[in-house]
Amino acid sequence: MWIAVIPPRCFALTYPSGDSAYMPTTLRLESLYSPDVAPEHTWYLARARPLSWVEAAWRPWGPDSIDVSAYHEPRIHIPTRGDNVTGQIVPTGVGTVFDGLFFSIRQPVLARRIECKSSAR
């Protein structure tokens, strides 16, 4: 039995709204399951820089996009077709009514496919 290893995919991220202090600027999406999320093996390992997103993971979302997230962070929804795409920052859980109103607006994120460097963190 052959197990296919898919090479990693890397992206540089920019946020047109300018509100990105805690958001990753690069992502490396691996083909290994994430050991930190969902024991059902539905999320894959993601490495984010800067390292503010610990235990980041990604999963397919529909036929043409992926979601990337980390514990207590919003999801980054990225289309998979194309080297320069526009995705969205999607809120996940909220704590108060104010948070729900404030974070219900989906912010754009620009994702540009880049060459993957070494996997060392």
How do residues 25-56 score in pLDDT, each as one tens digit? Answer: 999 999 888 877 766 778 899 999 887 788 88
Whether 119 is in a domain gets the answer no
Pick 6 or 68 by higher pLDDT.
68
DSSP state of 10: E
Q: Which domain holds residue 89?
A: 9-111
Residue 56: inside a domain: yes
The verdict on residue 37 lying in a domain is yes
Q: Average of pLDDT values for 80-102?
A: 76
Whether 19 maps to a domain, the answer reads yes
Q: What is the pLDDT of residue 95?
A: 58
Shortest CA distance to 87 belongs to which of 63, 115, 114, 68? 68
Is pLDDT larger for residue 19 or for residue 82? 82
